[in-house]
Amino acid sequence: MTGERMSNIRVEGLVKTYGAVRALDGLDLQVESGSVFGFLGPNGAGKTTTMRILTGLARPTSGKAWVAGVDLDTNGRALSRRIGYLPEEPSFYPWMTPGEFLDYLGRLYGLQLKIRSARVRELLDLVKLGDSARRRIGGFSRGMRQRLGLAAALVNQPEVLFLDEPASALDPAGRKEVLDLVEGLRGQCTVLMSTHILADVERVCDVIGIMARGKLITQSPRQVLLDQVTTPIFEIEVEDGNALQVWAESGRKQAWVVSIEILGNKARIVVNDITLAKHELLANLLQAGLVISRYEELKPSLEDVFLRLVAGEGLK
């Protein structure tokens, strides 16, 4: 429908049990087409089980799921041509070159020779392995293998791409390369990225979903989530600590101030209205005659948000 963004992943009431263990407990989830979705949760939250079901590797006990328009309950066989999947530790034939491996996958997808050859060259260039096209995969570094795994997941030009911990075992340079590639896929396909590295999610994901105990406890655009569950805090540093103490007595009476904590010539100011504080705090300090050497609005951390939400299991 014009003006609406369609959901490329839709999950309704998904339940998965393993004996007495309830891995998924009525999971509901929607991921918009073209977005990069960060999928977070502590160990045992149900992320891996969800990924396995959505990629057709497992079946739910009950509930419904659709991926790229495919009803997984009635037409699961049609799924493989519409999705790509990069597992946490992708496997390859070590005696092959990356070009041979990608060509092999292209044949499995039924791509004609001309299209297949062009796709292989395109993907090797995309993941920066063009110069290593004739090397054996067995000699690749972990970062090179991860980039090749991403290329392999893109051979069939999937509508939905599933990434399971795509950068968790890489060094900083390797992580940056993989995350740059993921960021470049925005708008080309829908990406669901499961990871425990919060900084990676904060960097590349549009929307964040957090799971706990088999349920999605919150789902929100990244910045909305950060703004919604974090407390606005300012830190200031002045030249005269005694003058700061005097100012704090009157500062605590401001309606937008929650608390002021003083340590020497530094103050930590918690506010309840970030917009009003931005307009009034600095002027208030200057009016009191304070000489300010540092004034900083502390940015919310996704780690703080994650820990708070998981501990409280959702927004209150």
**Distance between terminal CA atoms of the chain?**
34
CA distance 282 to 123: 52
Q: Would the pLDDT of 305 be above 90?
A: no
Rounded mean pLDDT, 141-166: 94
Q: Would the pLDDT of 160 be above 70?
A: yes
Residue linked to tokens 């909305």: 224
Structure confidence at residue 316 (pLDDT): 43
Domain with CATH 3.30.70.270 in the chain: 231-299
Domain with CATH 3.40.50.300 in the chain: 7-221
Homologous superfamily in CATH for domain 231-299: Reverse transcriptase/Diguanylate cyclase domain (3.30.70.270)
Structure confidence at residue 5 (pLDDT): 56
Architecture of domain 7-221 in this structure: 3-Layer(aba) Sandwich (3.40)
DSSP assignment, residue 5?
Answer: P
Decide: 86 and 193 in contact? Cβ < 8 Å: no
* Residue 258 CA, distance from chain mean position: 32
Instruction: Please give the order of strands across the beta sheet that includes 70-71.
Output: 21-32, 7-18, 62-67, 70-71
Band of residue 2 on the pLDDT scale cut at 50, 70, 90: very low
Band of residue 194 on the pLDDT scale cut at 50, 70, 90: very high
Written as one string, the DSSP assignment of 166-220 is TTTTS-HHHHHHHHHHHHHTBTTBEEEEE-S-HHHHHHH-SEEEEEETTEEEEEE
Compute the mean pLDDT over every residue in the chain, rounded to the nearest whole number.
89
Band of residue 300 on the pLDDT scale cut at 50, 70, 90: low
Q: Dump pLDDT digits (tens) for 112-136.
A: 999 999 999 999 999 999 999 889 9
Helices (H) and strands (E) in the chain, counts: 10, 14
Structure confidence at residue 209 (pLDDT): 93
* Residue 242 CA, distance from chain mean position: 45
Rounded mean pLDDT, 225-250: 86
Band of residue 313 on the pLDDT scale cut at 50, 70, 90: low
Strand-strand pairing, 190-194 and 160-164: parallel
Q: Would the pLDDT of 144 be above 90?
A: yes
Decide: 42 and 212 in contact? Cβ < 8 Å: yes
Q: Would the pLDDT of 229 be above 80?
A: no
CA distance 3 to 254: 44
Phi, psi angle pair for 182, to nearest 5°:
-65, -45
Structure confidence at residue 179 (pLDDT): 92
CA distances from 295 to 42, 132, 153, 263, 270 (A): 35, 50, 47, 15, 14
Decide: 67 and 84 in contact? Cβ < 8 Å: no
CA distance 58 to 69: 18
Q: Dump pLDDT digits (tens) for 270-299.
A: 898 888 999 999 999 999 999 999 999 887
CA distance 54 to 59: 9
Rounded mean pLDDT, 187-197: 90
Question: What is the Cβ-side half-sphere exposure of residue 44, based on CA atoms within 13 angstroms?
Answer: 4
Q: Would the pLDDT of 28 be above 70?
A: yes
Decide: 196 and 40 in contact? Cβ < 8 Å: yes
Q: Dump pLDDT digits (tens) for 69-92.
A: 999 987 767 898 899 999 988 899
